[in-house]
């Protein structure tokens, strides 16, 4: 019996392989953990430093506890105050000081404003006019002069015909605001400085975004001014529950960031999570909403985007109605929507504006296009290199005939064509308008034809690559398209190594990654899983509007019914 | 992580996990193994009976697990029969689980190298498969259940498609006469058929991993979760025997795949349908492999009261070495039979005993 057992013990080679099976993932795991924990250590330090900043509620008291060294505060003394400001920013060419007396008294006052950004109309028609009126009758004014605070409240409450007024006592803060376009008013005897009005910068017209043009739908797009964007959201319709909460992000250059959600619909936990993550943003300048996206997403190592971005207000508003939260940043027309699920990346607002039958079919077509984008080259490679027997006979004969003179194995051929297409695509983005599309067509046709003639690639390869490229344009979201394009190459490598089995492994690997991914607590693969029939009404098909009475369950909304 | 207390699955996810676990090698080998025993076309009756026996055993297991709703078998076995016996019993079950993992991996490698990748060495086929399983398991039962929910509809659709396409060469006469040789042969086949339904033992753990509100539905979970494979198996057996006849079936190692190869639909661009079936079959084997791997790793983690991560890594070489042990396919099938017998004993006999003992001890703990 012993011999029998001994005969079954595998040879040393197997034990070596067993060791490798264990070793390689272990090393990868340790490396990965090392990177992630180092990252977390840095984050912890950052959060400790940031500890004090709190979110602001409404656009009123911006008395942020400064983590900067507090400079000087305004005294009531006119000369001192103006001197302080002049010292800081007086050297700038575009900062102007306008000194005057409050009408018919001897009280000196000055306004400080920035050329180009400040609201000249406000200054000329409202500030200067109201202050230079006749105050000599009010003898309280002279007595008020002594009691600075009363002077301030008098001016603020009874004199200035300006809608936006804030009080500022910190010199550095007020200077920041002056440089952002607000007008500062210093009056002799007033302990604080009054910040009047808001910046009136230049902005462009509201036009349909180029990257997300639709056939049917409102031709509106966000602009770079935050106030325009929030106005567009409010303009969508009267909604007393739409809440717009602001934050300030960026250490050196402070920008306004706003989150929007519908109070009665969005899950409060989600809103809290969004707020928490925005507060951890610690970077000197948040240039674009892409920075915010990358700093608040769950898993930065994943190829999939976990935050959706869009330029269209109707998309944002539809998302808000589903219980999602939108993030808008000053200076960029791209708004962010969280949380995002896989199905959202393949949806377009047009699906909802057209009737359900064509929309359903088009949506199914998009899913097919996504599958083709991901798998077509790899399936071609696996069939040609490994499983020639699985191709139908007639097709196999014609394919092999055309591949006669091709010197490369299928994977190299595929890689050459795919890389060429990617370069063409990238180049096409930067070509000036007149020659852009022509270049694309010419490039595609000519290069494809020439390559086939030269015998470098086979015609079937060109067809496969062309279909793949076109399918990737059918995906409505640009960043989803990028993810799938990247993954296509990984699929090709798997197919080159293991054929059809490799494609299956790749699919399993991709699904394993997708099921782990969460976007703000919602699994990324919702609504596929868990099985909820009500969420499926909007997943691969689009059921008639009459049937879509509930908001998606996956978002745990407060108010689940769309009707009364 | 230990069982993360928030990492629970719903009842419908449990159904899918169970169904995916059971559907494994049986689809390919059941027609042959059962016809070898029964020698008559009444195998589908054996399959039915086998399914019913499996359902009964599953309900017993669920009742046992429901007595200790928050503990997995590894934890409550020690409550019932004492620390050391319970420990030993759990260890047996863990060994069973990772042996099944190894068996599944090896079968998959055999079929793949036979039909898809002729010259690839076995280790190259097994290694990436195991690594992807590792990647999936390290994020807990919820991710595993979600993956199963993704592959389940794909399996369902493609299987039905392929099965009904074979209606073209289906001859009902191959299934007749019904009960021509009497009832005895049918009963002989029941044991083999029951082995194809190996899977309800996962309920020993799954009840503990279900969400609180869903634990009472565990019996329904088992019923639905076993009916689905029953349905699949009956269709498979009927179709295979109907098309190939019993003589044809016993001479082929993988009758179902041969069935797929033997018909063609003129005009369709796709000719070889067995690749479809292989695709879903490999995904099903992956499912079985991951869930048993997870069960074994979880068991070890709970027995030794540590985090699950080191055990996941540690089991990798063990599973690999066991899977490479059988030298050829006959050895592999003998190995499979051995496991099957052990399973019948472990999961047919022990749960009944344990249920009895726990009833004696009285009430819910």
State which of A171-180, A503-512, B270-279 shows the largest mean pLDDT.
Answer: A503-512
Q: Are residues A366 and A511 in the same domain?
A: yes
Answer yes or no: do B313 and A501 touch at CB < 8 A: no
Distance CA B249, CA A126 (A): 96
Is the Cβ–Cβ distance between A483 and B101 less than 8 Å? no
Q: Which residues pair with A196 in a beta bridge?
A: A165, A183
Q: Are residues A378 and A443 in the same domain?
A: yes
Distance CA A175, CA A168 (A): 10
Q: Are residues A179 and A240 in the same domain?
A: no
Interface test with B, best of A8, A499, A511, A524 (most B CBs within 10 A): A511
Mean pLDDT, rounded, of chain A = 81
Interface test with A, best of B317, B322, B328, B330 (most A CBs within 10 A): B317
Q: How much of chain B is in helix, strand and coil states, percent to nearest 5?
A: 80, 0, 20
H helices then E strands: how many in chain B?
15, 0
* Closest chain A C-alpha to B229 CA, distance in angstroms: 19
Phi, psi angle pair for B121, to nearest 5°: -65, 150
Domain boundaries, chain B: 11-355
Is the Cβ–Cβ distance between B133 and A21 less than 8 Å? no
Task: Give the model's pLDDT for residue A53.
Answer: 40
Is the Cβ–Cβ distance between B82 and B90 less than 8 Å? no
Given a cut of 80, is residue A105 above it in pLDDT?
no
Distance of CA A45 to the CA centre of its chain: 26
DSSP annotation of B217 = G
A203: in domain: no
Q: What is the DSSP code string of A192-231? A: SEEEES------------STT--SSS------S-HHHHHH
* Closest chain A C-alpha to B357 CA, distance in angstroms: 37
Distance CA A417, CA B168 (A): 42
CA distances from A295 to A300, A325, A477, B281, B321 (A): 8, 16, 20, 41, 44
Given a cut of 90, is residue A327 above it in pLDDT?
yes
Interface test with A, best of B19, B99, B128 (most A CBs within 10 A): B128
Q: Are residues A93 and A186 in the same domain?
A: yes
Strands A183-187 and A108-114: antiparallel
- Mean pLDDT for the stretch of residues A299-318: 88
Task: Give the model's pLDDT for residue A59.
Answer: 35
State pLDDT tens for residues B41-63.
778 888 888 888 888 888 888 88
Q: Which one of A15, A26, A505 has the shortest CB-CB distance to B132?
A: A505
User: Please, what is the Cα angle at B109 between B43 and A26, to 5 degrees?
Assistant: 130
Nearest CA in chain B to A395: B269
Task: Give the model's pLDDT for residue A141.
Answer: 56
Answer yes or no: do A390 and B271 touch at CB < 8 A: yes
Interface test with A, best of B101, B106, B143, B145 (most A CBs within 10 A): B143
Q: Are residues A271 and A294 in the same domain?
A: yes
* Closest chain A C-alpha to B335 CA, distance in angstroms: 12
CA distances from A34 to A48, B123, B308 (A): 21, 29, 19
Answer yes or no: do B12 and A24 touch at CB < 8 A: no
Q: Which residues of B fall within a CB distance of 8 Å from A500?
A: 116, 275, 278-279
**Is residue A442 less than 8 Å (CB to CB) from chain B?**
no
Given a cut of 80, is residue B291 above it in pLDDT?
yes
* Closest chain A C-alpha to B149 CA, distance in angstroms: 6
Q: Are residues A502 and A358 in the same domain?
A: yes
A201: in domain: no
- Mean pLDDT for the stretch of residues B130-136: 91
* Closest chain A C-alpha to B276 CA, distance in angstroms: 10
Given a cut of 50, is residue B1 above it in pLDDT?
no
Sequence-distant (≥ 6) Cβ neighbours of residue A214 within 8 angstroms: A208, A348, A349, A350, A353
CA distances from A375 to A371, A390, A512 (A): 6, 17, 17
Distance CA B312, CA B293 (A): 8
Answer yes or no: do B314 and A22 touch at CB < 8 A: yes
Mean pLDDT, rounded, of chain B = 82
A116: in domain: yes
Q: Which residue has the higher pLDDT, A541 or A336?
A: A336
**Is residue A511 less than 8 Å (CB to CB) from chain B?**
yes
State pLDDT tens for residues B181-204.
777 777 777 877 888 888 888 888
Count CB-CB contacts under 10 A for residue A9. 10
**Is residue A527 less than 8 Å (CB to CB) from chain B?**
no
Q: How many CB pairs under 8 A join A and B?
A: 123
Q: Is A530 exposed, middle or buried (0-12, 13-18, 19+ CB in 10 A)?
A: buried
Given a cut of 80, is residue A442 above it in pLDDT?
no
Provide the percentage of residues in chain A whose pLDDT is more than 70: 88
Q: Which residues of B fall within a CB distance of 8 Å from A504?
A: 279, 282-283
Residue length, chain A? Answer: 564
A7: in domain: no
A4: in domain: no
Q: Which residues of B fall within a CB distance of 8 Å from A392?
A: 269-272
Is the Cβ–Cβ distance between A336 and A309 less than 8 Å? yes
Answer yes or no: do A18 and B320 touch at CB < 8 A: yes
- Mean pLDDT for the stretch of residues B61-71: 80
Q: Which residue has the higher pLDDT, B109 or A410?
A: B109
A52: left (phi over 0), alpha (psi -120 to 50) or beta: alpha
Q: Are residues A230 and A180 in the same domain?
A: no
Answer yes or no: do A508 and B132 touch at CB < 8 A: yes
Is the Cβ–Cβ distance between A256 and A292 less than 8 Å? no
CA distances from A457 to A62, A382, A414, A433, A465 (A): 64, 16, 8, 31, 11
Strands A335-338 and A325-329: antiparallel
Count CB-CB contacts under 10 A for residue B69. 16
Last residue of a domain, one of A175, A196, A217: A196
- Mean pLDDT for the stretch of residues B133-141: 88
Q: Which residues of A fall within a CB distance of 8 Å from B112?
A: 501
State pLDDT tens for residues A254-306.
888 999 998 888 888 889 999 999 988 888 888 888 899 888 888 888 888 88
Q: Which residues pair with A245 in a beta bridge?
A: A259
What does pTM read for this prediction? 0.85
**Is residue A448 less than 8 Å (CB to CB) from chain B?**
no
State pLDDT tens for residues A33-75.
787 777 666 655 554 544 434 343 333 333 343 333 445 677 7
Answer yes or no: do B123 and A17 touch at CB < 8 A: yes
State pLDDT tens for residues B6-32.
677 888 888 888 888 888 777 787 888
Sequence-distant (≥ 6) Cβ neighbours of residue A464 within 8 angstroms: A376, A377, A380, A414
Task: Give the model's pLDDT for residue A506.
Answer: 94
Task: Give the model's pLDDT for residue A444.
Answer: 75
A405: in domain: yes
Q: Are residues A90 and A116 in the same domain?
A: yes
Task: Give the model's pLDDT for residue A51.
Answer: 42
Is the Cβ–Cβ distance between A195 and A175 less than 8 Å? no
3-class DSSP state for residue A193?
strand
Q: Band of the pLDDT at A214, cuts 50, 70, 90?
A: confident
Is the Cβ–Cβ distance between A321 and A502 less than 8 Å? no
Answer yes or no: do B131 and A25 touch at CB < 8 A: yes
State pLDDT tens for residues A241-252.
888 888 888 888
**Is residue A28 less than 8 Å (CB to CB) from chain B?**
no
Last residue of a domain, one of A317, A340, A363: A340
- Mean pLDDT for the stretch of residues A313-341: 89
Task: Give the model's pLDDT for residue A334.
Answer: 92
Q: Are residues A365 and A336 in the same domain?
A: no
Of A108, A141, A110, the residue nearest A123 (C-alpha):
A110
Residue B41 tokens read as: 């076309």
Q: Band of the pLDDT at A139, cuts 50, 70, 90?
A: low
Q: Are residues A406 and A508 in the same domain?
A: yes
State pLDDT tens for residues A460-498.
888 888 888 888 888 888 888 888 888 999 999 999 988
- Mean pLDDT for the stretch of residues A516-521: 84
Q: Give the helix ranges, DSSP H, for B41-140.
A: 43-67, 73-81, 83-115, 122-137
- Mean pLDDT for the stretch of residues B150-174: 81
- Mean pLDDT for the stretch of residues B260-270: 66
Q: Which one of B130, B132, B269 has the shortest CB-CB distance to A509?
A: B132
- Mean pLDDT for the stretch of residues A206-227: 85
Is the Cβ–Cβ distance between A497 and A385 less than 8 Å? no
Q: Which residues pair with A523 in a beta bridge?
A: A518
Distance CA B240, CA B259 (A): 6
Q: Which residues of B fall within a CB distance of 8 Å from A391?
A: 271-272
Q: Which residues of A fall within a CB distance of 8 Å from B131?
A: 21, 24-25
Q: Which residue has the higher pLDDT, B173 or A91?
A: A91
Phi, psi angle pair for A248, to nearest 5°: -115, 130
Q: Which residues of B fall within a CB distance of 8 Å from A499?
A: 116-117
Q: Is A224 exposed, middle or buried (0-12, 13-18, 19+ CB in 10 A)?
A: middle
Q: Are residues A358 and A502 in the same domain?
A: yes
Is the Cβ–Cβ distance between B279 and A505 less than 8 Å? no
Count how many domains chain A has: 3
* Closest chain A C-alpha to B45 CA, distance in angstroms: 32
Answer yes or no: do B320 and A17 touch at CB < 8 A: yes
Q: Which range of residues forms the domain containing residue A183?
A: 78-196
ipTM exceeding the 0.85 mark? yes
Of A179, A115, A192, A118, the residue nearest A152 (C-alpha):
A192
Count CB-CB contacts under 10 A for residue A272. 10
| CATH number assigned to the domain covering B11-355 | 1.20.1740.10
Distance CA B277, CA A423 (A): 38
CA neighbours closer than 13 Å in the CB half-sphere of residue B281: 27
Task: Give the model's pLDDT for residue B259.
Answer: 79
Given a cut of 90, is residue A505 above it in pLDDT?
yes
Last residue of a domain, one of A340, A368, A399: A340
* Closest chain B C-alpha to A519 CA, distance in angstroms: 14
**Is residue A4 less than 8 Å (CB to CB) from chain B?**
no
Given a cut of 60, is residue A187 above it in pLDDT?
yes
Is the Cβ–Cβ distance between B160 and B277 less than 8 Å? no
Q: Are residues A404 and A499 in the same domain?
A: yes
Q: Band of the pLDDT at A137, cuts 50, 70, 90?
A: low
Distance CA A268, CA A160 (A): 40
Q: Which residues of B fall within a CB distance of 8 Å from A28?
A: none
Q: Respond yes or no on whether the N-terminal peptide bond of residue B211 is cis (omega within 30° of 0).
A: no
Q: Which residues of B fall within a CB distance of 8 Å from A525?
A: 146, 150
Contacts 24+ apart (CB under 8 A), B264-271: B265/B165, B265/B168, B269/A392, B269/A395, B270/A392, B271/A390, B271/A391, B271/A392, B271/A393
- Mean pLDDT for the stretch of residues A403-412: 83
Answer yes or no: do B143 and A515 touch at CB < 8 A: yes
Q: Which one of B10, B147, B283 has the shortest CB-CB distance to A504?
A: B283
- Mean pLDDT for the stretch of residues B222-227: 86
């Amino acid at each position: 019996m012993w011999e029998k057992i001994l005969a079954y013990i595998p040879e040393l080679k197997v034990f070596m392989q067993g060791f490798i099976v264990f070793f390689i993932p272990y090393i990868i795991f340790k490396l990965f953990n090392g990177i992630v924990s180092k990252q977390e250590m840095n984050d912890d330090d950052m959060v400790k430093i940031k500890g004090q900043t709190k979110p602001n509620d409404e656009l009123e008291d911006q008395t942020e506890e400064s983590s900067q060294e507090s400079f000087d505060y305004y005294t009531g003394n006119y000369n001192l105050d103006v001197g302080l400001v002049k010292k800081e920013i007086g050297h700038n060419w575009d900062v102007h000081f306008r000194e005057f007396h409050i009408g018919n008294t001897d009280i000196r006052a000055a306004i400080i404003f920035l050329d180009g950004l400040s609201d000249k109309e406000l200054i000329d028609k409202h500030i200067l006019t109201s202050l230079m009126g006749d105050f000599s009758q009010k003898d309280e004014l002279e007595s008020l002069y002594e009691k600075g605070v009363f002077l301030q409240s008098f001016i603020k409450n009874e004199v200035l015909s300006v809608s936006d007024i804030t009080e500022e006592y910190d010199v550095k803060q007020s200077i920041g605001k002056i440089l952002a376009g607000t007008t500062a008013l210093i009056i002799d005897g007033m302990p604080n400085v009054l910040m009047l009005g808001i910046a009136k910068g230049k902005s462009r017209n509201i036009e349909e975004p180029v990257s997300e043009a639709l056939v049917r739908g409102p031709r509106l797009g966000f602009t770079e001014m935050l106030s325009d964007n929030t106005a567009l959201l409010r303009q969508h319709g009267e909604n007393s529950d739409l809440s717009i909460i602001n934050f300030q992000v960026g250490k050196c250059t402070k920008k306004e960031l706003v989150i929007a959600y519908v109070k009665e619909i969005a899950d409060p936990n989600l809103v809290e999570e969004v707020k928490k993550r925005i507060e951890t943003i610690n970077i000197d300048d948040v240039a674009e909403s892409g920075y915010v996206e990358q700093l608040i997403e769950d898993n930065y190592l994943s190829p999939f985007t976990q935050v959706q971005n869009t330029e269209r207000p109707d998309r944002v508003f539809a998302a808000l109605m589903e219980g999602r939260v939108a993030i808008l940043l000053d200076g960029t027309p791209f708004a962010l929507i969280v949380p995002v699920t896989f199905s959202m990346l393949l949806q377009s607002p047009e699906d909802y504006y057209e009737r359900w039958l064509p929309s359903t079919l088009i949506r199914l077509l998009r899913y097919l296009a996504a599958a083709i984008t991901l798998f077509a080259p790899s399936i071609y490679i696996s069939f040609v290199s490994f499983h020639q027997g699985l191709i139908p006979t007639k097709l196999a004969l014609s394919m092999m005939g055309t591949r006669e003179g091709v010197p490369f194995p299928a994977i190299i051929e595929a890689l050459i064509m795919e890389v060429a297409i990617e370069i063409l695509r990238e180049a096409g983005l930067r070509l000036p308008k007149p020659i852009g599309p022509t270049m694309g067509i010419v490039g595609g046709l000519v290069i494809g034809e020439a390559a086939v003639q030269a015998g470098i690639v086979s015609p079937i390869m060109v067809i496969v690559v062309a279909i793949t490229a076109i399918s990737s344009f059918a995906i409505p979201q640009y960043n989803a398209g990028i993810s799938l394009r990247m993954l296509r190459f990984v699929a090709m490598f798997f197919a080159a190594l293991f054929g059809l089995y490799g494609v299956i492994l790749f699919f399993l690997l991709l699904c394993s990654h997708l099921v782990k991914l969460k976007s703000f607590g919602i699994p990324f693969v919702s609504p596929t899983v868990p099985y909820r029939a009500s969420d499926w009404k909007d997943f691969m098909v689009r059921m008639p509007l009459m049937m879509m009475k509930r908001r998606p369950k996956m978002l745990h909304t407060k108010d689940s019914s769309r009707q009364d | 992580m230990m069982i993360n207390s928030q990492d629970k699955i719903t009842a419908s996810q449990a159904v899918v996990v169970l169904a995916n676990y059971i559907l494994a090698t049986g689809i390919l080998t059941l027609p042959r193994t059962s016809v070898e025993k029964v020698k008559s076309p009444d195998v589908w009756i054996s399959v039915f009976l086998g399914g019913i026996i499996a359902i009964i055993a599953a309900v017993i297991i669920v009742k046992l697990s429901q007595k200790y709703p928050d503990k997995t078998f590894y934890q409550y076995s020690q409550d019932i029969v004492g620390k050391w016996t319970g420990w030993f019993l759990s260890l047996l079950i863990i060994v069973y689980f990772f042996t099944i993992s190894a068996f599944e991996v090896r079968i998959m490698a055999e079929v793949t190298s036979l039909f898809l990748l002729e010259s690839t060495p076995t280790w190259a086929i097994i290694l990436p498969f195991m690594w992807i399983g590792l990647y999936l398991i390290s994020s807990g039962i919820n991710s595993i259940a979600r993956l199963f929910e993704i592959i389940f509809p794909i399996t369902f659709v493609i299987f039905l498609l392929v099965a009904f396409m074979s209606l073209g060469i289906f001859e009902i006469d191959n299934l007749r006469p019904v009960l021509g040789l009497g009832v005895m042969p049918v009963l002989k086949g029941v044991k083999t058929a029951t082995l194809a339904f190996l899977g309800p033992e996962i309920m020993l753990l799954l009840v503990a991993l279900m969400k609180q509100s869903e634990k009472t539905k565990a019996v329904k979970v088992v019923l639905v979760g076993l009916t689905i494979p029953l349905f699949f198996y009956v269709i498979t057996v009927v179709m295979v025997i109907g098309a190939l006849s019993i003589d044809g079936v016993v001479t082929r190692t993988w009758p179902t795949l041969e069935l797929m190869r033997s018909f063609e639909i003129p005009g369709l661009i796709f000719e070889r349908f067995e690749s479809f079936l292989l695709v879903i079959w490999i995904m099903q084997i992956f499912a079985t492999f991951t869930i048993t791997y997870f069960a074994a790793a979880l068991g070890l983690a709970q027995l030794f009261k540590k985090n699950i991560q080191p055990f996941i890594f540690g089991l990798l070489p063990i599973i690999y070495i066991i899977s490479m042990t059988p030298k050829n396919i006959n050895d592999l099938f003998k190995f499979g039979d051995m496991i099957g017998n052990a399973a019948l004993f472990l999961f047919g006999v022990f749960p009944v005993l344990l249920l009895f003992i726990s009833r004696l001890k009285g009430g819910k703990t």
